[in-house]
Structures are given as C-alpha cells and as structure tokens.
C-alpha cells in the first residue's frame, strides 16, 4: 500500500466513484421497477466502505465503520472479482472497456488491502 503512485491513487478513487455512481443508478432504476435491491445495496455499501478505506489510508480521512462493516465489505468486494475478471477476459485488448476494468480491478484490490491493513491495526 505504501508504494502506490499518485496516478494509481487518483485512478483508483475515480474508479470507485464511478462504480458508486453506476450502483446508485442501478439502485434507483431497480427501486422504480420494483425489483429486489438487496444485492445492489450490499455492493453499494461495500464500495462506499472500500473508497472510505482508501481515503483513510492515503489521506488520513476519518471513517465511522466497524470491524463487522469492514469484514462484510471485504467479503462483498472479493466476491465481485470473478465476474469482473470474466468481463475483462472477454474484452478486446486496448479497448476503453478493458482499461476501465483494469482500473476497477486495481481499485478493488487496493480497497481490500486498505481494509486488511485497517483490520489488522484495529485488532
């Protein structure tokens, strides 16, 4: 975590903000449609927490999450990797979609590392 470039930090924060926006839009649409929103709400909370943990580690921003919140967020985020990696495998080399997925994977990996770091420090 200590050797992350400023560019990677910025791209990771931006990627998670984009993911939050997509999930918020999905939640809004699903709520309008009367669809079950449980999974989207869990993912949205996990990405919020992941983003907050990166801000905490990199910018010393405070957070209010419990160890239980961190553990749940970590599980949800790690559960996202297989579907993102499948999409990545299907994307074309050099495509904007592949670049977006690479950044999202990197951001989520860093978020998990930040959660792990904070979980160890608070144990």
Contacts for 6 with CB less than 8 Å, ≥ 6 apart: none
In this predicted model, what pLDDT tens digit does every residue of 61-99 receive, in sequence order? 999 999 999 999 999 999 999 999 999 999 999 999 999
CB 110, CB 1: distance < 8 Å: yes
Residue 101's pLDDT is 96
In this predicted model, what pLDDT tens digit does every residue of 17-60 receive, in sequence order? 999 999 999 999 999 999 999 999 999 999 999 999 999 999 99
* CATH code assigned to 6-118: 1.20.1440
């Amino acid at each position: 975590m200590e050797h992350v470039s400023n560019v990677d930090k910025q791209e990771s924060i931006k990627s998670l903000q984009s993911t939050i926006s997509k999930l918020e839009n999905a939640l809004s649409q699903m709520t309008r449609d009367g669809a079950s929103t449980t999974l989207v709400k869990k993912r949205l909370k996990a990405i919020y927490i992941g983003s907050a943990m990166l801000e905490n580690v990199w910018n010393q921003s405070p957070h209010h999450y419990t160890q239980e919140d961190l553990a749940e967020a970590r599980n949800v985020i790690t559960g996202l990797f297989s579907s993102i990696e499948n999409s990545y495998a299907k994307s074309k080399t050099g495509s904007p979609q592949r670049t977006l997925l690479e950044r999202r994977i990197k951001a989520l990996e860093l978020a998990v590392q930040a959660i792990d770091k904070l979980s160890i420090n608070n144990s």
